């Protein structure tokens, strides 16, 4: 009997620690992703390298398509994960934290029925948009359905772990410190992998100088290499009135293997109904390889 109790306590302690480990990990990963548009503009090799790493390899977190038209823009740049995936991460954070502060809520909100109910909006939105191609969703709806999806799974799991640990004497402070320590080591590994990229890739300022233009650019964007593989599969792409998006689709294509710096010198802008990077614009647009800085193409509109 004593061995069984110890075994159960060890299992519950492991689950509790895994929950904390995942929470800390999701928090810093979400923060890094949200700040990536700032990181990619830096001239510091370490910070810039972190931006390059998240844009070029961040999609592996969820095999994200990284389509710019389905992604949120922050600090003047595209977040490296689409709106739905970012919503899922935010939902996971809320779903783990909320049970710690709101344990006394109706039992229904901890049930499988409630879980299934929160999963439904994402299923409906995704199926009607992607499989049946009946309608194009919006980034707001993608983000919200992602939040509900992530919240439901994380909340369901967390409430059950907390329920199992109720009454057990766990060294929670030690478990928290251990989770933070492991995540700190993981973040240091990430920085070690990012620094070589920051030293070898072309920074934003360098990309602008390579255009040879004297005037200040109207806008500068970093386009992840994943976009070249996925942009042609979006059935709604032609509905977007965007000069950069059109150039990426028709003129740049699969040459975007390292990522692309887009430097736009705009002389006139027409109001578009659906803008991602820039509305339909007159001017000169430079597309440079993000690693070497080599000019891929110069397009005048």
**pLDDT digit string (tens) for 125-168?**
988 998 888 899 999 999 999 999 999 999 989 988 988 888 77
Say whether pLDDT at 288 is over 70: yes
- pLDDT beyond 80 at 53: yes
Q: How far apart are CA 187 and CA 182, in angstroms?
A: 9
**pLDDT at residue number 40:** 98
Least confident of 13-17, 43-47, 187-191, 238-242: 238-242
Residue with the two structure tokens 């548009």: 37
Name the least confident of 108-117, 120-129, 202-211, 239-248. Answer: 108-117
pLDDT band per the 50, 70, 90 thresholds, residue 11: confident
Q: What does DSSP say about strands 260-269 and 219-223: parallel, antiparallel, or unpaired?
A: antiparallel
Hey, is 53 helix, strand or coil?
helix
Query: Could you state, in order of their start, the residue ranges of all structural domains in the chain?
Result: 2-200, 204-300
Residue 285: closest CA among 254, 242, 244, 253: 244
Higher pLDDT, 274 or 214: 214
Residues 291-296: what's their mean pLDDT? Answer: 94
Residue 241's pLDDT band, with cuts at 50, 70 and 90, is confident
Q: How many residues does the chain have?
A: 301
Tell me the pLDDT band of 228, cut-offs 50, 70 and 90.
Answer: confident
Q: C-alpha angle with apex 222: 89 to 50, nearest 5 degrees?
A: 55
> In the predicted model, is pLDDT for residue 273 greater than 70?
no
Contact 193, 32 (CB under 8 A): no
Confidence band for 8, pLDDT divided at 50, 70 and 90: confident
SS3 70: helix
CB-based contact 244:276 (threshold 8 Å): yes
Mean per-residue pLDDT for 204-231? 93
Residue 82: name the closest of 230, 200, 208 by CA.
230
Residue given tokens 């650019």 in the structure block: 217
Is the confidence at residue 10, as pLDDT, over 90?
Answer: no
Q: With a cut of 90, say whether residue 6 has pLDDT above it.
A: no
Give the span between the Cα atoms of 266 and 109, in whole angstroms.
Answer: 52
SS3 170: coil
CB 69 within 8 A of CB 240: yes
**pLDDT bucket at 3, cuts 50 / 70 / 90:** very low
pLDDT of residue 252: 74
Token representation of residue 89: 């991460």
Check whether 109 has a pLDDT greater than 80.
no
């Amino acid at each position: 009997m004593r061995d069984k109790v110890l075994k159960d306590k060890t299992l519950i302690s492991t689950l509790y620690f895994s929950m904390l480990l995942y929470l800390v990990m999701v928090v810093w990963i979400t923060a890094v992703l949200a700040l990536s548009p700032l990181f990619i503009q830096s001239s510091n090799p370490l910070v810039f390298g972190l931006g390059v790493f998240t844009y070029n390899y961040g999609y592996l977190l969820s095999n994200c398509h990284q389509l710019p038209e389905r992604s949120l823009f922050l600090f003047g740049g595209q977040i490296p994960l689409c709106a739905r995936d970012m919503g899922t991460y935010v939902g996971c954070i809320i779903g783990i934290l909320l049970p710690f502060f709101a344990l006394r809520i109706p039992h229904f909100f901890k049930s499988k029925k409630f879980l299934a109910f929160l999963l439904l909006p994402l299923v409906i939105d995704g199926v009607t948009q992607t499989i049946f191609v009946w309608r194009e969703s919006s980034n707001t709806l993608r983000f919200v359905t992602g939040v509900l999806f992530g919240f439901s799974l994380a909340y369901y799991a967390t409430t059950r772990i907390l329920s199992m640990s109720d009454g057990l004497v766990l060294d929670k402070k030690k478990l928290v410190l251990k989770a933070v320590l492991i995540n700190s080591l993981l973040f240091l590994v990430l920085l070690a992998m990012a620094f070589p990229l920051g030293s070898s890739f072309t920074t934003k300022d360098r990309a602008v100088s390579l255009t040879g233009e004297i005037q200040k650019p109207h806008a500068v964007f970093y386009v992840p290499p994943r976009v070249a593989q996925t942009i042609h599969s979006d059935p709604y792409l032609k509905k977007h009135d965007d000069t950069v998006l059109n150039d990426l689709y028709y003129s740049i294509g699969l040459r975007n293997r390292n990522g692309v710096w887009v430097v736009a010198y705009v002389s006139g802008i027409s109001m578009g109904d659906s803008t991602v990077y820039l509305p339909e614009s007159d001017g000169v647009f430079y597309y440079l390889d993000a690693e070497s800085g080599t000019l891929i193409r110069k397009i005048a509109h």
